[in-house]
Amino acid sequence: MESKKFLLNEKDIPQVWYNVIADMKVKPRPLINPGTKQPLKAEDLYPLFAKACADQEMNYTDRFIEIPDEVRELYRIYRPTPLVRARALEKALDTPAHIYFKNESVSPVGSHKLNSAIAQAYYCKAEGVTNITTETGAGQWGAALSMAAKHFGLELAVYMVKISYEQKPYRRSIMQTYGAEVIASPSMSTKAGRKIITDHPNYSGSLGTAISEAVELAMSTPNCKYVLGSVLNHVALHQTVIGLEAEKQMELAGEYPDTVIACFGGGSNFSGLAFPFLRHNLSGERNTRFIAAEPSSCPKLTRGEFQYDFGDEAGYTPLIPMYTLGHNFSPANIHAGGLRYHGGGAIVSQLKHDGLIDAVDIPQLETFEAATLFARTEGIIPAPESSHAIAATIREALKAREAGEQRVILFNLSGHGLIDMTAYDRYFSNDLANYEVGDDEIRRNTAQLEKII
């Protein structure tokens, strides 16, 4: 049986984003000022972020927020994205479960990241900003923002985690093609970068450090804002176009998922697919299970502590309430670079704390095994990040087989892996390993957190 695609028309591109906070009975705790320990107001974020984004960050009341026409216009390049029933994968697993995936890999940069990059670049432009800075792990966010920045005529500087800068030169070239300046992080161009290079000369970088550098540059450059690709509430908000479309497409398929799965770095693609479905759990109509799939080498949701922590290594950001491994946590150099982040976003962390979503952690080799099976059945080579969602889906589909249960599983294919073939190469040469984090290492890191919660 062929895998089957469910398509929508351009007019079905959502008109609004869904703000899950409006429906949460227990709201996420506020961001707080690390100095005064007082909750932040939207105005406190205006120096750093576009005003519209700062307002969205603190919006706890509007269930739906209108998508500007200019943003929908650019979404038309690749949205609506397909929803696919993965019949070939089902057959290979010999499972009675129906497996669906939302294919965000069809965007021009190959991942879901463009959904928020377009929105954030638009708001910066609309507010008269001329320069923006950001960080990127594996390079997907940097690539997405480079495209969006060029479209709206903004100058962009990207701090790229050094290990990815070296391992993924093509992502760097993509950013340069769109006209962005790319700097390997840690770099000598910022105080934060110079400090970490001095303390740890061979440090291969982390998202936390790159964020510190980008924030520092934004704060010290006139008419410049900082733009973040995950973790924050407004980024999760922009990504809900994924789930809003998927909801309609599942209707076309005549089914509703009992399980929704996405990989988890800072939470943007998970939130984007999950929240529109979670809405029906919060209202009591449905009882869908939500699973965030994170790497065993960076297990914040499954093994981290629920506590206030900085979003970056140097401690420039506000304190964010989240499951965290500590902002000094240095994850192993796994190939899913986009998942090497120490914390989860405030909304997802609160939902996890309240038992409204689940998380699993997956070792690296299992993700590549899953990725290979997926490529050989469905034809798409997944990003190493997305492969965590595929591995978690396969686990669930095999459980359904054991139990003889006819389940409906939906997962997010957050991106393709065509620029990650070095990682696949290493997998095929048996040159990849699993990395487990010891309890003592986690405790050593989280022990340094100030106990505010």
Ligand X SMILES: *Cc1c(COP(=O)(O)O)cnc(C)c1O
Smallest gap from residue 24 Cβ to ligand X (A): 19
Tokens, residue 172:
């760097």
- Examine residue 385 and tell whether it contacts ligand X (CB under 6 A): yes
Residue (409 or 419) nearer to ligand X, CB: 419
- Examine residue 386 and tell whether it contacts ligand X (CB under 6 A): yes
**Chosen residue from 124, 174, 242, 263 binding ligand X by CB under 6 A:** 263
Round the CA-based radius of gyration of the chain to a whole number and report it.
Answer: 20
Tokens, residue 10:
């351009």
Smallest gap from residue 38 Cβ to ligand X (A): 28
Residue (14 or 142) nearer to ligand X, CB: 142
- Examine residue 113 and tell whether it contacts ligand X (CB under 6 A): yes
Where residue 339 falls (left for φ over 0; alpha for ψ -120 to 50; beta otherwise) is alpha
CA distances to 32, 179, 203 from 329, rounded to whole Å, are 21, 32, 13
* 269 contacts 104 by C-beta, under 8 angstroms: yes
* 144 contacts 109 by C-beta, under 8 angstroms: yes
Smallest gap from residue 404 Cβ to ligand X (A): 32
* 272 contacts 54 by C-beta, under 8 angstroms: no
**Chosen residue from 19, 56, 115, 140 binding ligand X by CB under 6 A:** 140
Smallest gap from residue 270 Cβ to ligand X (A): 6
The residue whose two tokens read 């701090």 is: 159
Q: Which 3-state string (H, E, C) describes 81-138?
A: CCEEECHHHHHHHCCCCEEEEEEHHHCCCCECCHHHHHHHHHHHHHCCCCEEEEEECC
**Chosen residue from 17, 18, 100, 264 binding ligand X by CB under 6 A:** 264
Number of H helices, E strands in the chain: 19, 15
Smallest gap from residue 339 Cβ to ligand X (A): 6
- Examine residue 324 and tell whether it contacts ligand X (CB under 6 A): no
Alpha-carbon span 173 to 40, nearest angstrom: 38
- Examine residue 171 and tell whether it contacts ligand X (CB under 6 A): no
- Examine residue 383 and tell whether it contacts ligand X (CB under 6 A): yes
**Chosen residue from 115, 133, 146, 230 binding ligand X by CB under 6 A:** 230
- Examine residue 240 and tell whether it contacts ligand X (CB under 6 A): no
- Examine residue 414 and tell whether it contacts ligand X (CB under 6 A): yes
| CB closest to ligand X, residue no | 415
- Examine residue 322 and tell whether it contacts ligand X (CB under 6 A): no
The residue whose two tokens read 């506020």 is: 30
* 289 contacts 259 by C-beta, under 8 angstroms: yes
Residue (92 or 418) nearer to ligand X, CB: 418
Tokens, residue 233:
């509430």
- Examine residue 305 and tell whether it contacts ligand X (CB under 6 A): no
Residues 6+ apart with CB under 8 A from 29: 308, 321, 346, 350, 453
The footprint of ligand X on this chain (CB under 6 A) covers a number of residues equal to 20
Smallest gap from residue 415 Cβ to ligand X (A): 3
Smallest gap from residue 349 Cβ to ligand X (A): 13
- Examine residue 250 and tell whether it contacts ligand X (CB under 6 A): no
- Examine residue 266 and tell whether it contacts ligand X (CB under 6 A): yes
List the beta bridge partners of residue 308. Answer: 321
- Examine residue 206 and tell whether it contacts ligand X (CB under 6 A): no
- Examine residue 80 and tell whether it contacts ligand X (CB under 6 A): no
Chain residues binding ligand X by CB under 6 A are 111, 113, 140-141, 230, 263-270, 338-339, 383, 385-386, 414-415
